[in-house]
Amino acid sequence: MASTHEEMIQGASGERDWRGWKTINMITIQDGCTGSSFVAKVNNAITLAGYTIGGNFGALAPYCYLQSVHASIIDGSPNTVRLELKFERDFPERFKPGTMELGASLISVETNKDKDDNVMWLSHTYPIGYRRSPQDDPLTVAVESGQITHTTNKFIPEKTRTFTKQVSEADAKTASDYTGCINSVDWLDSGDANKWMAVHIHGRSEDGGNSYNMTYNFIYRKETWLHEAIFIQDNGKPPYPFSPAATLGSDGDYKEYPIYEEKAFANLGLT
């Protein structure tokens, strides 16, 4: 039967400061660790001990996380494994949340809306007696031109986020597939889908490919990364008000087309 003898063993040690436990070096002896190899028995012993690399010590030291495990077989007892568990305050490097940088830059866009998102338009009343051309008769009643929208170039801020994180080889390969994609659901502070794009994802390994130091760059667009299509009238202006299409396959003078692949950025584990 598997059993555990822990903590009160010579060699166990720890260090506390005013914030609590700083380091804990715990020794456990796991009996009944079956397996066809040393590695299998050690894996079984760690499972029996109830810990995982990156997991915390427990309620008595919740901010100390398991950094490493040293294992050995007890002489004369092939199914008994001695574990030296090293806990330290803070996360092991691979399990740290990604560090994040914030930024913004200005880009120029063409818009027909003011700072409060209102459509900009003009109208004119042609008075009685006005001639549209020398050949036309004077107007006998005032004529309204109707609302004519107009556009202008505007500088808007484009927010950026940069994350750095160490990940496994498998996660690094998966992450590269996100380049050029937009968020499929709400992510960070966007409040909506389709507002963040992964514009650059790069990794560098310094241990032969076992892990990668990854950099992830994202750009935020308030108006979403969907493509806007607007009907332009014969006068060169869009109609006002718009009549948005209910679906891409239905009539309307305004549509938003998805042109980028969508992915759930939360799966990258950056936040």
- At 121-130, the pLDDT tens digits run 888 888 888 8
- Taking CA atoms, 114 is separated from 104, 120, 242, 260, in Å, by 21, 6, 16, 27
pLDDT above 90: percentage of residues in the chain: 14
- Per the CB < 8 A criterion, the answer to whether 71 and 82 are in contact is yes
Residues 22 and 8 in one domain: yes
Residues 60 and 48 in one domain: yes
The pLDDT of residue 74 is above 90: no
CA distance 84 to 12: 8
Residues 171 and 255 in one domain: yes
Task: Name the β-bridge partners of 7.
Answer: none
Residues 61 and 184 in one domain: no
pLDDT for the residue 242: 66
Residues 108 and 220 in one domain: yes
Distance of CA 13 to the CA centre of its chain: 40
Residues 145 and 158 in one domain: no
pTM of the model: 0.55
Residues 104 and 223 in one domain: yes
Read off the pLDDT of each residue in 196-211 and give the average, rounded to a whole number.
88
The pLDDT of residue 95 is above 70: no
